[in-house]
């Protein structure tokens, strides 16, 4: 919410009033007057714009009583039925797509094989087809889509929406993902190509989704995804921390002594991902005669209680935990979450063993080390939330209201 709200005499637009209602800090006309210092008539005019846009509704059920006595006040609610969000999560060999409500409810979902190595044109074109069929299942028209969110397994420049030198996404470097996906969705739904498309790293969006869903009061939250590769997402004071150009959290390519001479998919050698990712564990299992080709195969073996897979996952967890000791000492998070194909008990145990040995006691005194809560849907939840927060932020909301002519 803009800092202007709550300062009498300052201009507070409809976007700020919407932010107050959505956050729950002011959900009646009287509370909005008190929070903003605006007159009753001005609040009414601002709210009228939001009602005409279909963004607000009067709350159902019993009205709440006024703390000052007198006639009860009707509550105001964000109307999540006026639009939907399209969200997708690309992994190296698999993808998941969904139509979400503005409050994150899944209205339709599909998952299937989709390999990023096939290149952006083919992959994004296929995603457009998935979205078209999902939208048909919900019965919502193309005009109901207000935005599209996409999670990808590589570093993303959030200003341009383009991936930057992705180690495991051949052919995607600098590609116009926003433009291609927007066109693909428009072609398959009959909509327009001007719908906003937001692209971010999958670990970032997983962290955003998990923090909002399960740890909203945690001011410093870290999620580590261990699947084909290893990456981390960081949420500080409710906002994704991306670094200068989207490279924050790329811990899979930190050099570790155990990796000396081991080639990594990034083209270097000695990286943490080369010795502790799901792909690395799968290679070691294959060398031992256990059928495994990817992190998802390791996940299945762990679920079946395979002893050698469990032992190697625990060893990988110890290697990741050693690196995370530095991360925890630097960021001092309240929650460290492990997600991805290896996010089971053996790996988590290994992380805890080394993390608590190597990190300063002061850094871990109030730290929770936990497994993913949302699982495979974490990135979808984060992508949907990112789109909604972007579109209904005060200044952007004002621009959209003007475009709607209200």
Cα(388)–Cα(384) distance, integer angstroms: 6
Cα(106)–Cα(322) distance, integer angstroms: 37
Look at residues 253, 268, 246 and name the one whose alpha carbon lies nearest to residue 155: 246
Q: What is the pLDDT at residue 228?
A: 86
Look at residues 64, 60, 61 and name the one whose alpha carbon lies nearest to residue 26: 64
User: Over the stretch 338-383, which tens digit does the pLDDT of each residue have?
Assistant: 999 999 999 999 999 999 999 999 999 999 999 999 999 999 999 9
Backbone angles phi, psi at 400, to 5 degrees: -70, -35
Cα(272)–Cα(117) distance, integer angstroms: 22
State the pLDDT confidence band at 106, using cuts at 50, 70 and 90: very high
Q: What is the mean pLDDT of residues 81-105?
A: 96
User: Over the stretch 136-168, which tens digit does the pLDDT of each residue have?
Assistant: 999 999 999 999 999 999 999 989 999 998 888
Q: What is the pLDDT at residue 72?
A: 62
Q: What is the pLDDT at residue 60?
A: 59
Chain centroid to Cα 263, Å, comes to 30
Q: What is the pLDDT at residue 158?
A: 87
Q: What is the mean pLDDT of residues 286-300?
A: 94
Q: What is the mean pLDDT of residues 61-68?
A: 49
User: Over the stretch 370-381, which tens digit does the pLDDT of each residue have?
Assistant: 999 999 999 999
Q: What is the mean pLDDT of residues 115-123?
A: 96
Q: Identify any residues that bridge with 94 across adjacent strands, giving them in sequence order.
A: 113
State the pLDDT confidence band at 6, using cuts at 50, 70 and 90: very low
Look at residues 393, 402, 405 and name the one whose alpha carbon lies nearest to residue 147: 393
DSSP letters spanning 139-171: T--GGGEEEEEEEESS-EETTTTEE-S-TT-TT
User: Over the stretch 234-277, which tens digit does the pLDDT of each residue have?
Assistant: 999 999 999 988 889 999 999 999 999 999 988 899 999 999 99
Q: What is the pLDDT at residue 9?
A: 39
> With 70 as the cut, is the pLDDT of residue 80 above it?
yes
Chain centroid to Cα 290, Å, comes to 34
Chain centroid to Cα 171, Å, comes to 24
> What does DSSP assign to residue 253?
G
> With 50 as the cut, is the pLDDT of residue 3 above it?
no
Q: What is the mean pLDDT of residues 195-222?
A: 97
Q: What is the pLDDT at residue 59?
A: 85
Domains of the chain with bracketed CATH = 14-78 (1.10.10.10), 84-203+380-404 (3.30.420.40), 216-375 (3.30.420.40)
The burial class, CB within 10 Å (0-12 / 13-18 / 19+), for 287 is exposed
> With 60 as the cut, is the pLDDT of residue 69 above it?
no
Least confident of 62-71, 230-239, 270-279: 62-71
User: Over the stretch 387-398, which tens digit does the pLDDT of each residue have?
Assistant: 999 999 999 999
> With 80 as the cut, is the pLDDT of residue 8 above it?
no
Q: What is the pLDDT at residue 92?
A: 87
Q: What is the pLDDT at residue 245?
A: 85
| Three-class DSSP category at 346 | helix
> With 80 as the cut, is the pLDDT of residue 71 above it?
no
> What does DSSP assign to residue 18?
H
Cα(178)–Cα(238) distance, integer angstroms: 25
Q: What is the mean pLDDT of residues 307-333?
A: 97
Q: What is the mean pLDDT of residues 115-140?
A: 96
Cα distances (angstroms) measured from residue 256 to each of 167, 251, 273: 18, 11, 10
**Burial call 166-178: b when 16+ CB within 10 Å, e when fewer:** bbbbeebeebebb
| Dihedral, CA of residue 338, residue 343, residue 348 and residue 350, to nearest 10 | -110
Q: What is the mean pLDDT of residues 308-329?
A: 97
Provide the percentage of residues in the chain whose pLDDT is more than 70.
94
The burial class, CB within 10 Å (0-12 / 13-18 / 19+), for 382 is buried
| Dihedral, CA of residue 308, residue 314, residue 319 and residue 323, to nearest 10 | 150
Cα(284)–Cα(293) distance, integer angstroms: 10
> With 50 as the cut, is the pLDDT of residue 45 above it?
yes
Average pLDDT taken over every residue of the chain: 92
Q: What is the CA radius of gyration of the chain?
A: 23
The burial class, CB within 10 Å (0-12 / 13-18 / 19+), for 383 is buried
State the pLDDT confidence band at 7, using cuts at 50, 70 and 90: very low
């Amino acid at each position: 919410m803009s800092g202007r709200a709550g300062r009498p005499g300052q201009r507070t637009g409809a976007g700020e009033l919407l932010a107050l209602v959505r956050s729950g800090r002011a959900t009646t006309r009287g509370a909005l007057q008190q929070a903003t210092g605006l007159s009753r008539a001005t609040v009414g005019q601002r709210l009228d714009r939001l009602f005409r846009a279909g963004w607000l509704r009067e709350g159902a059920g019993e009205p709440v009583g006024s703390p000052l006595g007198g006639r009860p006040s009707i509550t105001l609610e964000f109307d999540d039925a006026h639009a939907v969000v399209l969200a997708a999560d690309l992994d190296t060999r698999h993808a998941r797509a969904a139509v979400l409500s503005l409050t994150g409810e899944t209205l339709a979902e599909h998952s299937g094989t989709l390999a990023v190595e096939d290149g952006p044109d083919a992959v994004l074109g296929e995603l457009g087809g998935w979205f078209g069929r999902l939208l048909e299942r919900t019965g919502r028209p193309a005009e109901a889509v207000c935005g599209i969110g996409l999670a990808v397994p590589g570093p993303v420049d959030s200003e341009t929406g383009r991936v930057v030198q992705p180690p495991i996404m051949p052919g995607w470097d600098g590609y116009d993902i926003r433009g291609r996906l927007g066109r693909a969705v428009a072609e398959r739904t009959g909509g327009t190509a001007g719908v906003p498309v937001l692209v971010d790293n999958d670990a970032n969006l997983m962290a955003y989704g998990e923090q909002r869903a399960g740890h909203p009061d945690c001011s410093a939250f870290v999620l580590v995804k261990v699947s084909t590769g290893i990456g981390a997402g960081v949420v500080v004071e409710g906002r994704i921390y991306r670094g200068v150009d989207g490279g924050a959290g790329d811990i899979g390519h930190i050099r570790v002594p155990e990796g000396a001479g081991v080639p990594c998919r990034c083209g270097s050698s000695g990286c943490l991902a080369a010795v502790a990712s799901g792909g690395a564990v799968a290679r070691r299992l294959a060398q031992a005669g256990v059928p495994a080709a990817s992190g998802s195969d390791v996940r299945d073996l762990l679920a079946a209680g395979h002893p050698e897979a469990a032992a190697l996952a625990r060893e990988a967890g110890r290697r990741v935990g050693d690196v995370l000791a530095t991360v925890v000492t630097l960021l001092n998070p309240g929650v460290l979450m492990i997600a991805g194909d290896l996010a089971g008990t053996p790996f988590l145990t290994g992380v805890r063993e080394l993390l608590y040995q190597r990190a300063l006691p002061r850094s871990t005194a109030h730290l929770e080390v936990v497994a993913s809560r949302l699982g495979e849907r974490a990135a979808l939840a984060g992508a949907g939330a990112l789109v909604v927060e972007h579109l209904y932020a005060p200044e952007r909301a004002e621009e959209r209201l003007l475009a709607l002519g209200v």
